[in-house]
Amino acid sequence: MTTKLDQLIERIEELRQELNRLSRNKDLADPELLTASRMMDAVLNEYNRLLIDKAKE
pLDDT of residue 50: 93
- What value does the CA radius of gyration of the chain take, rounded to a whole number of Å? 13
Nearest CA to 4 among 42, 40, 54? 54
Nearest CA to 11 among 35, 56, 47? 47
Interval 36-57 mean pLDDT = 94
Q: Which amino acid is at 17?
A: Q
Q: Is the pTM of this model over 0.75?
A: yes
DSSP state of 35: H
Residue 39 lies in a domain: yes
Residue 13 lies in a domain: no
CA-based diameter of the chain, in Å?
Answer: 44
pLDDT of residue 14: 97
Question: Count of CB atoms within 10 A of residue 44's CB?
Answer: 14
Confidence of residue 57 (pLDDT cuts 50, 70, 90): confident
Question: pLDDT of 2-25, one tens digit each?
Answer: 699 999 999 999 999 999 999 998
Residue 36 lies in a domain: yes
Residue 11 lies in a domain: no
Residue 46 lies in a domain: yes
Interval 20-48 mean pLDDT = 95
